[in-house]
Structure 1
């Protein structure tokens, strides 16, 4: 049996998909329809009732953000497997990995091919996320708080 011999000096501030605070949030449960769903990524309504899939090319809107969970029966540590029940934040504040530099108060967009949130100009392959704002600023690839209203 392997023993852990090294430890971090400081715990990470957060992880992608982690609810950011204790204010009221709306989190719904949906079945992951057709592909593994990473934590902290955009999700879209699936074709079945109460189902979702990772936002991908061709999607015209998003439903919310996948919430980090320890309760999932997954073979990976970073998402929900196909067929699992996923927690989806539709209102509240959540940590996500910024796709490009973001600033507090900026409008939010999502790149449909990756499900990643940023502030890119809406257009082909990039959707504006209505009623969303950045709560905190971050560099490209860093964690930031995203507010969905």
Structure 2
């Protein structure tokens, strides 16, 4: 079932606010999918999803290997029969304000603040598709 990225149903948004481990799928340089577990925050007002990561991770390298703004990615979560997927194009943000905002959003959703990491970056996904059954 499709959802409006900017105006999700209350049930869909509530599902994205529950504490769930998600998956992130990024394209490797050879085009094959790289799937890893991550924490994700969804900001429908801005049309963004965010994932915090270490700048040396494979997922970050995959996004950086693509032409700027062309790395198409997906984040997904599931719980029983409920599932939700968000898709869009990812960029890497490493400025202090973007990282601090993403860490605060992560702490709110997951109930814990990650340890400080000077190598932390944000995978910022500009969303253009939302699907799921929540």
| Alignment TM-score > 0.5, same fold | no
Q: Which one has the bigger helix percentage? A: 2
> What range is the shorter-chain TM-score in?
under 0.3
Superposition TM-score, scaled by structure 1 size:
0.23
Work out which structure has the larger RCO, using CA pairs closer than 8 Å and 6 or more positions apart in sequence. Answer: 2
Superposition TM-score, scaled by structure 2 size:
0.24
